[in-house]
Structure 1
């Protein structure tokens, strides 16, 4: 459908409520099962998963389907042999550690949302998966439909591949990687042998290589799929085996039910690490899942033991009374530096959101009730730890356990991307930055005050030229009221003060004189006289305006700054948005995961709302301004270049 490039209008962010409704619509349409979690209250029902207080499982599925920073836009394109005008909407989002891509498509009057291959690569089992020969895949990428004889690997065929159902198609070379999305024109699930059959089985909508796949904010083309994806259960050997038996007699087809296509039932999907995966019978699930999801009570105990372990180590390795711990302890420091490093198990199941407390504040209050510490609520609702009872018997008699090494990402895609993004280290760490402001003179100052319009001048150079101008015109200092003042001449009155009709200029013109400092400030503050430029120097770089390095080119406009915005989402939920990092050589795709670790909460990277295409912003849960300022400081960004906008405070009347 998208052989021709669609015209996509301006992207706009989705409200949190719209994002949840959209995700719930997808969950309903694709029959995604929201599993029950082993909560303390075992009477919880599935109906509670769609209430105003969703379970962590539902939130995880929603985020996997529709990321928190999702944007939407209308589009138009021409499709079909008759080049019919088609319109609809696209939904753009970024999974953690990746750039933004089109994840869902809705077109025409059909309210159904169609996933792109990027969504399928992160949500195994979302749709039934069909297979065909790689030669046929190449034909499909030209916009052709999948014909019935082109199906391989069955019967049996996936039960969900019924008329009108959305299905994915993979080739035999990479049978676990969907590369084509379509809608069934016939009931594929009821087909027998397909040799000799006629007609189209699946109508093509989107594929790896079309214009939707190719779109990105950075205009750097689409991203090829991985070699394999864990969760699409069909193996290459099984598909090839089914393909090799296509010429057998009918009575051979039913000898082994395992020869058929992928029997994915999205109505029995489970969730693991934010991705939707097909469910399996209980015995197979135990064999396939070496790490079963712990109960809430087990996660609670792990967090308590980690806290005791941190205090045990502090008491063992440092002197009293505080044993090397700086009080007060911030909630973010508690989670990132005391809990996470000492957890018995370090995987996606052991996070503060999986505990019965759900957040650090309630966890601290629990520890205070256990008489392990003293806490205090600060303005803004933050709770800090003021002191710890190191003489508690639970700390004295604590038995250390072996701490596991941090596990790598289970997903091949995420692992590869983490390596490529991190590259082993953050190149911006430890860099030294110098922000230099330069000015170019307008024609009003040339040649009377400054010699050239093309040369960049520092403020001190402009001040020197002004001093020289005054020395060359003795009449300026004669009969002035003070040595600090100079008389006005036609050049100063007309070219400098006459460039602005402000009240201050009018008063100066009426007085007939102006202070030397006020005159230089007047020149530098007026962009019509001295056009500001900025230059960011890294490490040992220097720039001399008198003998400039042409490889360093100053940029016009005000100097860059890192913007930290605190705002409320969903009523009381506070988030921190960070933007403007690229100008300082800091990659948001690398800093985002680092902030997620430091803040012990979720973080996402996406297009900066209201910014230029390709400019990214990081969204972190909670008020994390102190952590952000510290982390960007480690990357050479001075506090003077950071602007904090706290929108959570009540506006003054």
Structure 2
């Protein structure tokens, strides 16, 4: 929701004492808190700020004296208070939590929702669809930890569905995350230290796979290279820890992967590279995403790449690892000069043509999964924006109903004279009839041979000049021309569906809204709007009132002249551009608005 910058952010205003007390009481009653907790979470000196998201959703955010966003609401007239991560860091038990692996958190920050395979733990009590929850990062190992909440969202489904083993779909719709634009409004404080994961601190959470204990994870199939990041990391829980020798081998494999890909064409100007930078840019991202498949252990679990680090290997230090690689002629390192502030070695060159590099078999890396996850998140966000964008437009459909001569034709198609058809449906039925009757002209594929039924509908007989001569029938016709003539023999209808309203279906051809600029006596300009009633999004009085404010000029409403049904709205001045913008903001597509000028 806050992945992109807010479209509007108004000036903050201090919250009155009475309004703050009301807000505090709402927090206490909604979340079952004590008055003392209410004072902490709704402190003195609160500021309120009105905003609009990048999708034009209105909302209000309440800021602390330090500028940290603490609570927010989204939606017109919404009274549902949502805590921010700043508030969750003050009381991490404020909302029920779900845990997810570390690799999923960047995916959530990039704008994606939490998928069911990405859930490791959830509360034992049932969570309802739409209930507010927080999301924390779970880190396993000898001493498992749980981070303070890093995201807030709403349950996309009841938690019983997760408990029953549902494996696909969304678990939580994300509303706000750490590092999004709402969080950026605050002081950007560091995340508190993670908590030990135990029954006491985690509220006796349940594992996400059918209630099995975490120490006995359900076996899973080795994922494919195209699996999503959340699904992969969700099944990596609690596998057998790697030995130091295995981690050393995986680090060596990661180096070979980097040398065969990212560093294969590295120029001399790219060096020297400090050891820490080389490690973070060319070792960690190129770790195998599925270590067990690289090791060939036969373990069905894909393994956890987060365990692969120098500290867990036989090298114990980054310098020792790089010097070992230098002994193998894979790279060249240089020790820091004496009496220099530099304390770490630097990599001065790499050998991408080494036989072990050329013989290396590439694998799916952590970076590959992160890239795919980011692209998937962007794609989902784009589709979500497109859905929300399309939802605000008036949906207009042109329909046709069989009439007179075309009734028999549609009965032959297997249709009904009472059904309203869209243009693609008419074309499909017509093409099906043509194929069934083999009416495509063998000499000219663009032409259709007319059988008696089609000829009666689309090709009336041509009369001869002399009455004694018989009429001549047209034998063939182009497909598009024939389709147009079939439509000419049908009744025109239209359907208009405005957001939040029932569809309106009426007989007749829908005409565009006319926005005409006219010059009257004394060369005074005015703008006339007619034909807006069928689009059911605005009345004449509302249109006149809104345009009076937007154009800062007089407006009037009167019946259309010349016996034309409906009303017309008159605005002083040349206001066609303003009217066009206003109508499109109301959801009327531009192609249904005609702008013209007359003297």
Give the TM-score taking structure 1 as reference length: 0.29
Larger Rg, first or second structure (1 or 2): 2
Give the TM-score taking structure 2 as reference length: 0.31
Q: Greater relative contact order: 1 or 2 (C-alpha under 8 angstroms, separation 6 or more)?
A: 1
